[in-house]
Amino acid sequence: AENPQYTCLVVIKNKPHAIKRHGADVAGPVFKEIADRLYTTRVIQNNSKPNNAKTDSSIFRYAGYKTDVKQVMQSLSVKYKDSSTPANDWTDITAAKGNVTVNNRNIETNKMPSLKGMGLKDAVSICENDLGLRINIKGKGKVTEQSIAAGIPVAKGQVI
């Protein structure tokens, strides 16, 4: 190789008439033992430069209970455009180029909604209270995946 990190030379002096006298029989197992120990303590050096790219926080999507979302946005003094209707309890919040918009998020009683972007508390509330589903939760925070795709018919008592 062009740039070796290690060099190992195994020299074993045997009796002239020993039963094992070839390199593969004598020096091979010793080399293997040395190499195994060396590789377990080896630190892999990665010469790649870290990616210092920052995520663009001016574009985001969040979903949740409309009253809670509006309260948080008001307490943080976030200006937003309310495109939701009073009859709808659930919202989608989107932002692009500094313009925050609160939109309706329709929840049909017999179809699985998209829960992506929702906090766990809101997703559980929709599934258990509105749809009558039982939930198997893995993780915490925002919903990133769901076992039943949005738009698929669901039945009360179904486990997701």
The tens place of each residue's pLDDT in the chain, 160 residues long, gives 688 778 888 888 877 777 776 777 788 888 888 888 887 776 666 666 666 666 655 566 788 889 998 898 899 888 888 888 888 888 888 887 778 888 888 888 889 998 888 888 899 999 998 899 988 888 888 888 888 898 999 998 888 8
CA–CA separation, 27 and 14 (whole Å)? 11
CA–CA separation, 118 and 77 (whole Å)? 21
Task: Output the pLDDT for position 153.
Answer: 92
Q: Which of 155, 150, 160, 73 minimizes the C-alpha distance to 106?
A: 150
> Residue 30 carries which side chain, given as an amino acid letter?
V
Would you report the helix, strand and coil content of the chain in percent, each value rounded to 5?
Answer: 20, 20, 60
